[in-house]
Amino acid sequence: MTVGIAGLGLIGGSLAKAYKAAKEPATVLGFDRDVSITHIAQIAECDLILIALYTGAAAEYLEKIAPYVRPDAVVVDCCGTKRTICKAGFAIAEKYGFIYAGGHPMAGSQYSGFKYSRANLFWGSSMIIVPSRFDDIHLTAHIKSLLEPVGFGRITITTAEQHDQMIAFTSQMPHVVSNAFIKSP
């Protein structure tokens, strides 16, 4: 399997290391704006493309690479919110004829950047997937098989709206509250 990863910070770097360390290592092609760690991705060779960029940049990157993505390739973003990126991603994928799904790996660290990435960051954690269709079990199974080498403990299927509502209460609100405590005298 060949996996292309755009954005080689903590999330993208850890995904790259996980695929390289898997039982059956994948060929990993990476892209990052920092040329010191960039290996130019050969998009047309990729079975799976993971976009680990912020939402606005992810949509722009997807639009840029869309003409080069193979029809049988799967593109999954790793953005923290889903409504905006899924709306753009589903439209772009339909226009260019490839498979796109929203994704959110539920792991992280207090540190950022490639130097803090690690192959086991996602072991046992959840991966949330927002597919374009909920009645296609073969599509869901295919996406799960492509993500299996990373070591996720569970893959949850949901809508963009349900994802964003859940994350607002379980992730974003606790960050706001903890930040308020830290900054409080």
pLDDT 10s digits, 90-149: 999 999 999 999 999 999 888 999 999 999 999 999 999 999 999 999 999 999 999 999
Query: Does the structure show a pLDDT above 80 at 168?
Result: no
Query: Once rounded to an integer, what is the mean pLDDT over residues 44-58?
Result: 93
Q: What is the mean pLDDT of residues 37-43?
A: 52
Q: What is the pLDDT of residue 174?
A: 72
CA distance 36 to 30: 12
Q: Is the pLDDT score of 39 beyond 70?
A: no
pLDDT, mean over the chain: 90
Cβ count near 122 (within 10 Å): 22
41 pLDDT above the threshold of 60: no
SS3 104: strand
The neighbour count for residue 54, using CB atoms within 10 Å, is: 13
Q: Which two tokens stand for residue 45?
A: 């060779």
In sequence order, what are the residues at sequence separation of 6 or more whose Cβ sits closer than 8 angstroms to the Cβ of residue 129?
76, 101, 102, 103, 140, 143, 155, 156, 157, 158
The length of the chain in residues reads 185
- How many other C-beta atoms can be found within 10 angstroms of the C-beta atom of residue 100? 28
pTM for this model (two decimals): 0.85
Percent of the chain at pLDDT > 70 equals 95
Q: Which residues make Cβ contacts (< 8 Å) with residue 32, sequence separation at least 6? A: 6, 7, 8, 9, 12, 38, 114
Please say whether the beta carbons of 9 and 112 come within 8 A.
yes
Distance of CA 3 to the CA centre of its chain: 12
